[in-house]
């Protein structure tokens, strides 16, 4: 690929984490962009896929793809509109010296990509508040998924949170409105998942994926409100797992198909909400944050006669 560099690690950087190495030599590269490049295997170390926390050794060879940092600087230099700044502040459901937690609406991307110029990562300056730096992304949720998104307010907090998410120390709970009603009413879905294009599919060759679930309420056998707690972090894990047991999430155009618009005239949105996150392990005290339900969930519950107590 034109523009790819192979950079050898200097002895002065021996033992440095990969993310810190990029911060040192490519300071214009955002954490969100770095994570995306790592996730898509565009950055490698000694020809192998690498994680942000990998410790580098003298002489290691880092594959650096074309970064187009000039365009990134130009994008960051564009003024954030007052309307978008206000929207970002309204999304905040919790803030302290270490983190900011947002309740992201369905349809707003976390990071940029093809044909996606408006996203959370590009509007973080609105959430700087009293700090001298913008908050940082430490995880992501799908564009069409609503709910909790945690931001780190400092570089040190970002490292701690990234490790906690990677090691599954932060327990997340999602709410999903599905077609059908899972049987049994609670249990664990154990189905290996493998990326196939833009989807994850059940495959014996895939990575281990575990999702605990329980039915909170249901409208006969037609619809159910399901609480899902992923124990692993695979792409589209909850969406693929619920589809695999015959209960696809309403509004899911990847795992449900064209029928999604024909379901009792429910809103044409994905009914998956990142509802709750338990941060107690980080704070050494009980710390559970929830995100109020979006309006399309509330309307559907009223229409279907499903009860949910927040």
**CATH topology assigned to domain 5-69:** 3.10.290
On the CB side of 44, how many CA atoms lie within 13 Å of its CA? Answer: 10
Average pLDDT of the residues of the chain: 88
* pLDDT above 80: residue 279: yes
Phi-psi region of 174 (alpha: psi -120 to 50; beta: other; left: phi over 0): beta
Per-residue pLDDT tens digits for 186-238: 999 999 999 888 889 999 999 999 999 999 999 999 999 999 999 998 999 99
Could you state, in order of their start, the residue ranges of all structural domains in the chain?
5-69, 79-166, 171-304
Per-residue pLDDT tens digits for 111-142: 877 667 788 988 998 999 988 888 999 998 99
- Whole-model pTM over 0.85: no
End-to-end CA, the chain: 51
**CATH topology assigned to domain 171-304:** Pseudouridine synthase (3.30.2350)
Most confident of 21-35, 67-81, 162-176, 203-217: 203-217
198 in helix, strand or coil? coil
Most confident of 58-62, 163-167, 197-201: 58-62
CB neighbours (10 Å) of residue 288? Answer: 11
Please say whether the beta carbons of 274 and 145 come within 8 A: yes
Distance CA 303, CA 87 (A): 28
Do domains 5-69 and 171-304 share one topology? The answer is: no
- The highest-level CATH class for domain 79-166 is alpha beta
The one-character DSSP state at 105 is P
Give the residues across from 132 on adjacent strands: none
Q: pLDDT at position 266, please?
A: 87
Catalytic residues: 142
Residues, the chain, total?
310
């Amino acid at each position: 690929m034109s523009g790819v560099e192979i950079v050898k690690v200097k002895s002065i950087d021996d033992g440095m984490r990969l993310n810190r190495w990029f911060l040192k030599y490519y300071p214009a590269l955002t954490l969100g962009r770095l994570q995306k490049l790592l996730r898509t295997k565009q950055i490698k170390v000694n020809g192998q896929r690498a994680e942000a926390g990998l410790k580098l050794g003298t002489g290691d060879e880092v594959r650096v793809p074309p970064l187009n940092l000039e365009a990134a600087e130009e994008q960051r230099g564009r003024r954030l509109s007052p309307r978008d700044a206000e929207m970002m502040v309204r999304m905040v459901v919790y803030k302290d010296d270490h983190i900011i937690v947002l309740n992201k609406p369905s349809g707003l991307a976390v990071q940029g990509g093809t044909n996606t110029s408006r996203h959370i990562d590009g509007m973080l300056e609105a959430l700087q508040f009293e700090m001298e730096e913008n908050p940082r992304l430490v995880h992501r949720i799908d564009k069409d998924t609503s709910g909790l998104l945690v931001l780190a307010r400092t570089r040190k907090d970002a490292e701690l949170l990234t490790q906690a998410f990677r090691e599954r120390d932060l327990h997340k709970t999602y709410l999903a409105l599905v077609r059908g009603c899972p049987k049994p009413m609670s249990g664990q879905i154990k189905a290996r998942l493998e990326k196939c294009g833009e989807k994850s599919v059940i495959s014996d060759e895939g990575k281990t994926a575990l999702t605990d679930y329980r039915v909170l309420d249901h409208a006969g056998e037609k619809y159910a409100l399901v609480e899902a707690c992923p124990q692993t972090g695979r792409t589209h894990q909850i969406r693929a797992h619920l589809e695999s047991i015959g209960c696809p999430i309403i509004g899911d155009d990847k795992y449900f198909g064209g029928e999604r618009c024909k379901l009792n005239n429910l809103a044409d949105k994905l009914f998956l909400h990142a509802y709750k996150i338990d941060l107690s392990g980080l704070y050494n005290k009980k710390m559970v944050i929830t995100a109020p339900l979006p309006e399309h969930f509330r309307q559907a519950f009223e229409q279907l006669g499903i009860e949910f107590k927040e």
